[in-house]
Chain A
Amino acid sequence: MNEFAGLLLLGPNDESIIVQTRKGNSVKNAIDPSPRKDQIDKYRRLLEKHPNWVERVPAIGGYNCVGHVWASRRTGIFEQEQIDIVFRDDGFRIVDETKELIHPGDLVAYWSTDHQHFLHIGLVVELRSAVGFTTSIPWVLSKMDATSGEVLHHFRDIDFPGFEYRFEFWTERQKLLR
């Protein structure tokens, strides 16, 4: 398409780093640029819709939610196939909440209800006692997208336009901790 011809001539300038799973498989990744002003403004507006979110890092580029939890904030991992590879290769398992407790350091992954689409992932950093509940409520640190900031939020205080979602807690711990 002629409209993109000029851009083709610029050649590739996408950036990535070497990321491997525990089994040594490479994970495709990409480092996106810093957010534009309109992206920062958008992030601020969406932040206002969630008054209980606590911002840890303001809008920043370079990594997304997956890069936050699995690539030490160095890059973004975007493709669902890559995410499946990490879950598999790094020995993650779903936490059965009827048998064990969630712990800080576990991950919460959000999927569409039909489990077809991976939506988001965050790191459990805190377990808060809630009035009237015997169990603790996980609070999650996550980066909403590649140009947003990092926020601390209740694990259910999140929404994905166009999707009903389900969540799963994942851990790489091998033994059940009660």
Chain B
Amino acid sequence: MRALAQRLLDYEAFAGETSEPGESATLRVYEKLRQGLGEFTGVAGFQSLASRALALARAEAPSLNALRVSADGSLHGLREIQLQFDIDKVRAGEFPAGEEELLLIAHLLGLLFIFLGETLTLRLLRVKWRGAALDDRNSENGRKA
């Protein structure tokens, strides 16, 4: 799941460099998931999933405590965490910078795999990431960051 999350983050990082530099790749991935999944899960449905994913991620990375999922499913506090990451960069951390954000996305995707299965999840993701290589099988042909 981390590999898939990493692919999405890499894809958005690459896309961000060319279109909207400075915007967090994590936030871009998260927002695409919110928009894509929110259509059929509803706002409340996505908010529940995201809250659960955040709780699971926090259990592995307490530094994510500052993150909040609001009632409309949007993610808050990411910027503050990223600033803290920059400060801590010089310290020997448990995670390299950005690893916590990866955990959040990985857990969100993991929940989708659990509830919907791999096939359906990947089909839904491809709506928002049309050009991206989402699984190992087509990574050779897809765009890799």
Q: Say if A and B assemble together.
A: no
B-side residues, CB < 8 A to A, are none
Chain A positions within 8 Å of B, measured between CB atoms, are none
